[in-house]
Amino acid sequence: MLKISEKINNPATPSAILTLPFEKRQRSRLKVSLDNKQEAALILKRGSVLRHGDLLRADNGCVIEVRAANEEVAVVSTKDPILLAKACYHLGNRHIPLQVGDGWLHFQRDHVLEKMVQSLGLDVKHALAPFEPESGAYGEHTGHSHHS
């Protein structure tokens, strides 16, 4: 079985793809199947979170690109930044992973959380999309640019 134990930062051409949902990209020890169906053991440093586009190196030298799988997400969008900020505040207060963009946010579907957001006056739609939440104030950066 292929062993994957290194996250690499230097550009390299991947020879395989690993597509995982966010829940599995948060685990540092995991049996996985690459997109080509090859089985592998993911053995990363504890606390590692894999992000879309990350590159990994296997024990045989193979470079593997990580991709975020499509997942069922709740989609909230509004042109009202105050409403969006309120939704982010209330969801963040519950430690819900959020993907935040310009006028929108995504979170993993949960009917209780969706009703809470709707009670704030926001519409919730559903989509099948890659989920790449913010890493948090003390986590690794996601590559999002927040320049003023």
Mean pLDDT of 121-127: 97
Q: Are 114 and 74 in contact (CB under 8 A)?
A: yes
Tell me 79's DSSP state. S
* CATH code for the domain in which residue 104 is found: 3.30.70.790
Domain count, the chain: 2
Within-domain flag for 142: no
Q: Which residue did the predictor score with more confidence, 139 or 5?
A: 5
Mean pLDDT of 30-41: 97
Mean pLDDT of 103-110: 97
Please state the separation of Cα 111 from the chain's center in Å: 20
Domain boundary among 17, 35, 68: 68
Q: What is the pLDDT of residue 11?
A: 87
- Could you tell me if 61 and 113 lie in one domain? no
The structure tokens listed for 131 are 């989920």
**pTM of the predicted model, to two decimals?**
0.83
Is pLDDT above 60 for 147? no
The structure tokens listed for 88 are 């982010």
Q: What is the pLDDT of residue 60?
A: 95
